[in-house]
Amino acid sequence: MKREHSISVKNLTKKFGDFTAVDAISFTVKKGEIFGFLGANGAGKTTAMKMLIGISKPTSGEAEVAGFDVYKSTEKIKKNIGYMSQKFALYDDLTVRENAQFFGGIYGLSKKVIKERTQAFISELGIDDIADHLVGSLPLGWKQKLAFSVALLHRPQIIFLDEPTGGVDPITRRQFWEMIYKQAHQGTTIFVTTHYMDEAEYCDRVSIMVAGKIEALDSPENLRKQFAVNSMNEVFLKLARG
């Protein structure tokens, strides 16, 4: 059976006591789509994302990720998704290969498969000379590209990127987005949160969260038309300021 949607969410809600962090959001993400998940700090996007990747239980609502229910099948979801956070999160005191070996290992990949796939991304990035260096000695831009490659080792259907380009220079950001495009073309669904509005323009569709609700959801082009402005930045400001 071929599924249309990688992620489908209906009235998903998360409450912490009296505070509603995520308020009945609904959306779907198509297979191979680059989906931008935007919102100001505290708008609830991290909480929403945590429910989708299976480390936070929703209060109510429905959600399916990679075809699995977020209440019942978090284990299966975890096997089928990749995740990369804003902290990049490779171990500084391990080498590139050791990091790949470790993270591939916890996804249950065999040594041989890990070796092949590691060599593949090392050749692709052209970093044979630093593959046995400690990650801590590499520049930030490299770390982040490596973290992305390592997060893809187990070939997830969907990859969640939580502000993946925070604190890196524009050139590296550009290169990083090229990597993202390439993955999307190969059919991986990309779910990305970001603070950079120019990055929002790269997405196929964008949702903007304000105070726990999704206030806008469409392609960047349509959103600009809808709000009669010239850039995503203005769309965002209009919404965030109410």
Token pair belonging to 173: 């950001």
- Asked whether position 73 contacts another protein by CB under 8 A, the answer is no
Cα–Cα distances in angstroms (integers) from residue 132 to residues 127, 137, 140, in the given order = 10, 11, 17
Task: Indicate the residue among 14 and 205 with the shorter CB distance to another protein.
Answer: 14
For residue 21, the surrounding DSSP H or E stretch is strand 19-30
Among 13, 20, 85, 233, binds another protein (CB under 8 A): 85
How many chain residues bind another protein (CB under 8 A)?
A: 31
- Asked whether position 236 contacts another protein by CB under 8 A, the answer is no
Helices (H), 4-154: 45-52, 74-80, 96-106, 111-125, 140-151
- Asked whether position 56 contacts another protein by CB under 8 A, the answer is yes
Among 54, 135, 55, 142, residue whose Cα is nearest residue 100? 135
| Only segment of 65-73, 75-83, 183-191, 203-211 that touches another protein (CB under 8 A) | 75-83
Per the DSSP assignment, residues forming a β-bridge with 190 are 34, 159
- What does the DSSP assignment read for 210-223? ETTEEEEEE-HHHH
* Binders of another protein in range 105-144 (CB under 8 A): 105-108, 134
Task: Indicate the residue among 142 and 202 with the shorter CB distance to another protein.
Answer: 142
Task: Indicate the residue among 32 and 166 with the shorter CB distance to another protein.
Answer: 166
Task: Indicate the residue among 142 and 236 with the shorter CB distance to another protein.
Answer: 142
Measured distance CA(69)–CA(147) in Å, rounded: 27
- Asked whether position 88 contacts another protein by CB under 8 A, the answer is yes
- Asked whether position 78 contacts another protein by CB under 8 A, the answer is yes
Handedness of CA 162, 167, 172, 174 (dihedral sign): positive
- Asked whether position 97 contacts another protein by CB under 8 A, the answer is no
- Asked whether position 98 contacts another protein by CB under 8 A, the answer is yes
Please give the residue ranges that form the binding site for another protein (CB under 8 A).
53-57, 75, 78-79, 81, 83-94, 98, 101-103, 105-108, 134, 160
